[in-house]
Amino acid sequence: MMEEKQGSVAEIIFHNQENGYTIAVFETEEEQFTAVGSLPSCHKGSSYILRGQWKIHPTYGEQFAVSGFEEVMPSTEDGIQEFLASGVLKGIGKKTAAAIVAKFGSETFEIIEKQPQKLTEIDGIGDKKAEAVAEAFRSHREFARITLYLQQFGINADYAMKLYRVYGSDTITAVEENPYRLAEDIFGIGFKKADKIAEKMGIARDDEHRIKSGVKFTLWYFAGEGNTFLPQTVLCEKAGGLLEVESDKINDCLVEMAFQGDVHIENLENRNVVFLMTYYLAEQNVCKCLAAINSAGLKAIGSDLDSLIAVTETESGIALSENQKYAVKTSLNQGISVITGGPGTGKTTIINSIIKILQHSGLKTAIAAPTGRAAKRITETSGYEASTIHRLLEYYYSEGEDTMRFGKTAEDPLDYDAVIIDEASMIDLMLMNGLVSAIKPATRLILVGDADQLPSVGAGNVLRDIINSEYIYCVKLTEIFRQAKESLIVVNAHKINRGEYPDCNEKGKDFFMMRQKSEKDMLNLIKDLCIRRLPAYYTQIMPVRDIQILTPVRKGLLGSINLNRELQDVFNPPCPELEERKAGDRIFREHDKVMQIKNNYQLKWRNQEDFTEGEGVFNGDVGFINSIDREFNEVVVVFDECKYVTYDFSQLDELELAYAVTVHKSQGSEFPIVIMPMSWFPPVLATRNLLYTGVTRGKHAVVLVGSENKMHAMVDNNRITQRYSGLSVRLKALLSF
């Protein structure tokens, strides 16, 4: 039940300056208790009317969860002095606060707000400082007023702070004029939240701001599903269902949005399609850059290619097949080339040979991959230092624009003669746009990847579009080499890709099917495999580090969320010696295996082996919780066994438990042992290429647990969800020239 409490902050236990989240001891005339919630600009002695309700924390007991508040300015001289000395107004310490109140008494606030020049009568306060104090006071009062105003629309103090940072003193005006702009300008306020605010403000359902925002939301939603555009009829149908308005009104708004430059409408393959302008410009630019790179003259290779290939064969002790030699030659003779093939077809050998030849020819070469894990694998298998594409392009945070930018661009391009990109199936349109924009014509661009794996998480279908366009030279590798043929993982991956059922449980091999009927039995067997059976058979492994459960889904008994709860209990159960921290519906415990789930280029890390430091932790990086410090509200995670990263408690939404991850999240990774449940999953996910992608993540063993029929059904389901993408069409058009 909602209650109201009036009192003051007696002690601050924790306060996050970024989002205002506060844990404080609050004191009223009758009681003292712990208050938890968003209280921006909170200091000891601050007076509030708090609105909220009592909740029981499993560790800390009863707390008052704050859902709304109103700041009460002090009226007594002691209260005013305490407020001024609290640090709310920078530049005023205890001594100056006492002098101001001694001079102006109960009129202090009025003097600061309306006659700040009078503050110069106090020793140590000049004109500049007096105005700065007045401005800080006005901002504090203004933010308090804005926060109180926004609460009536369900906008809490956390979001109020975000709005105030963007709109400043115009916050209320901005919200009243068009609440839907919040969905675009404020991270965390999507269309649905903005729509609720607008509804409370009485805005009509067919208001043009609402329709335009709903159209953008629909396009962004489907971009999140991988599409760079939507057919106009599909967009009107989807947006119309969301908004509950007629298609004619949506079409009218689309025309206006096109004139305003928010969207682009064009006829593509005899149908009208609608792009968000961002994706349209990216597709156009990728095509333009690919054409320029592909047609430019190249720096000559040092000598005869056959001779150089022979030298690399001698140095590496590996004889290339004729198809591999052909791949090497064509890649070095083209402006852009694609090498695609499944596991065991020699892609790594080809990459290493190309790098050696480029080095012998004195050509400066960069090697990169979309993820940190994939880049690390290249370094381990080739011996050449690889980086992420983002690192290669010098990704950085632009404070002036409050956004991330690539440092390397068309104006300041990469200084390389050749750029090799591995795991190219993971590249989405926006990353490809950044990459090709920064590559000078006359640079060789070599894209290596497995086109049969799952496509990129982001919008676009870049590798497949390039291959299907037939505009870029492509070598398809199909031969499995002798050593790889000894692995059933490799053989079965190719069988799955061809639509054939895999062979399982051959003695001495590495691919197993363990049959179970119910999901509960599958779950119990997965836990038993992790804790007992696999460690007993593969005695050299470290179970938590080396066994990875992959699943098609996040929800359900065999989804990654529940699997992580269950596996945490067996791998790392609660223990008095292990500190833990609850974040939402998750519990993080010391020694837990965790995954970073968003790119954070500003997180600092320190290498404990060589004491180097750097910035950047990337989506999909897996590490272990080293320590949880409740006094400083910090969690330390170790990545790559030596890189220590410190997270504030407020940043824990960037981490997930990683005993089990979705197959999509595993792209670019390789694990010693992979376990996959085989049960009923939605047909859109239980597909051949998802099974293929999961199986190819295993290095030493793959164990499928569940129904053989469901596994066969996945092999039979060659459903590749169509992505709306115009890149292939645009590249094909270049062929006609």
Was 345 annotated as part of a binding site? yes
Pairing, β 586-589 against β 593-596? unpaired
Could you write out the DSSP letters of every residue in 172-214?
HHHHHH-TTHHHHHSTT--HHHHHHHHHHTT--TT-HHHHHHH
Residue 348 assigned ligand-binding role: yes
Instruction: Determine how β-strand 613-617 pairs with β-strand 593-596.
Output: unpaired
Is residue 482 within a helix (H) or strand (E), and if so which, with residue range? helix 482-485
User: Which DSSP symbol is given to 654?
Assistant: G
CA distance 37 to 60: 15
* Separation between Cα atoms, residue 198 and residue 176, nearest integer Å: 9
- The total of other beta-carbon atoms located within 10 Å of residue 610's CB is 7
Residue 114 corresponds to which tokens in the numbers above? 């309306």
What residue spans of 116-156 are helical by DSSP H? 127-151
Sign of the Cα torsion 400, 404, 407, 408 reads negative
Cβ neighbors of 175 (< 8 A, separation 6 or more) are: 150, 153, 163, 182, 197
Using CB atoms within 10 Å of the CB of residue 255, give its burial: 0 to 12 exposed, 13 to 18 middle, 19+ buried: exposed
Indicate the burial class of 227 (C-beta count within 10 angstroms; 0-12, 13-18, 19 or more).
buried
User: Which H or E run contains 216?
Assistant: helix 208-224
Nearest to 594 by CA among 646, 543, 657: 657
Spatial distance between the Cα atoms of 209 and 269, rounded to a whole number of angstroms: 31
Specify burial of residue 708 (Cβ count, 10 A radius: 0-12, 13-18, 19+): middle
Which residue, 73, 143, 59, is CA-closest to 108? 73
Q: What angle do CA 333, 338, 344 make, to 5 degrees?
A: 115
Long-range contacts of 162-166, Cβ-Cβ distance < 8 Å, separation of 24 or more: 162/186, 162/187, 162/188, 162/189
Closest-CA residue to 363 (of 471, 446, 448) = 446
Q: Check the annotation: does 59 bind a ligand.
A: no
44 and 12 Cβ atoms separated by less than 8 Å:
yes
What residues contact residue 350 under an 8 Å CB cut-off, 6+ apart? 320, 324, 327, 328, 331, 339, 448, 477
Q: What residues form the annotated binding site for ATP?
A: 344-348
- Binding-site members are 344-348
